[in-house]
Structure formats: C-alpha cells, structure tokens
Amino acid sequence: MNVAFFLIPKQDVIYLKINSTMRQAIEKMEFHRYSAIPLIDDQGCYRGTITEGDLLWKLKNTPGLNFQNTQSIRLTEIEQHIQNYPVSINSRMEDLISRAVEQNFIPVVDDQKIFIGIVRRREILEYCTKALGMLESLPFKD
C-alpha cells in the first residue's frame, strides 16, 4: 500500500496561498467548516497549515484588530502554532500512519516539495477498520 492510495488530489482540496489575508482564511474556514487549511506559496510548495487557533490568537494579541480590518493582515504575519508536517508521495505507510497519530490531515508533496494533495486521518482509519473486519460491527458506520 502506498500514499497515493489515500491521496485526495490538490484540485479537490481547500487550500490558501500564503499571501492570502486573514479575512480570506476566516471566510474559507467558515464556508467549508474546516478548522485548519494547508498553505502554499506562489510556486505551489507546501508552507504550513493555518488553524482557527492561529487566527484567534492573532485577533486576541493584536490591539485594534477586528473582523472588519482582518483583510489587512496577511497569513505570513500570523504565527502557526501547530505544524502539519508533509510526507513525500514516495513515503512508506509507516511514515503516513505516524503523522496521522498527531495530525488530522497529512499534506503530501512531490520530489520538488510541490503540494499535490492531502491524506485525511479518516481514510486511514476507515481502511484499517475494514482491513481488520471491524467496520460492519461498529454502531456509528455511515
């Protein structure tokens, strides 16, 4: 089994450019109901993950900042408190699983560090549960 089996490709992933504004991040998170979004630079390289917590801490610690003026704050000005470390598309499953223990999603990059998608913890857990023959016995299945 390889990482590509679980990959949600970039075109199906919600992400932001690193030079986007705080307001764009807030609105995108609200619309999609996400608590974290991957960030990429102008060359398409993965540059981190912005979280709701990062945005709230910036709001709390910036005097005079309110929703109306969040369009003047670039995401590059916001400290990222949680690091979602990427894996290479060529990584071993052990690397993917070890990251999934700590991260809700794992960014996936190619050999040039270009962001190509994510793997969600959910798909890994569903696969493992099916492999163990447990999914049918779980009371909360879809």
Residue that has been written with the tokens 């163990």 in this structure: 132
Kindly report, residue by residue over 2-56, the tens digit of the pLDDT. Answer: 888 899 999 999 999 999 999 999 999 999 999 999 999 999 999 999 999 999 9
The set of residues, in sequence order, having a beta carbon less than 8 Å from that of 95 and lying 6+ positions away, is 87
- Spatial distance between the Cα atoms of 25 and 12, rounded to a whole number of angstroms: 17
pTM of the prediction? 0.85
Question: Which residue type is seen at 2?
Answer: N
Q: What is the domain partition of the chain in residue ranges?
A: 3-137
Burial class (CB in 10 A: 0-12, 13-18, 19+), 61: exposed
- Spatial distance between the Cα atoms of 52 and 30, rounded to a whole number of angstroms: 10
- CA atoms within 13 A of residue 8's CA, in its CB half-sphere: 15
Most confident of 2-6, 13-17, 89-93, 99-103: 13-17
> Domain spanning 3-137: which CATH class is it, in words?
alpha beta
Average pLDDT over the chain reads 91
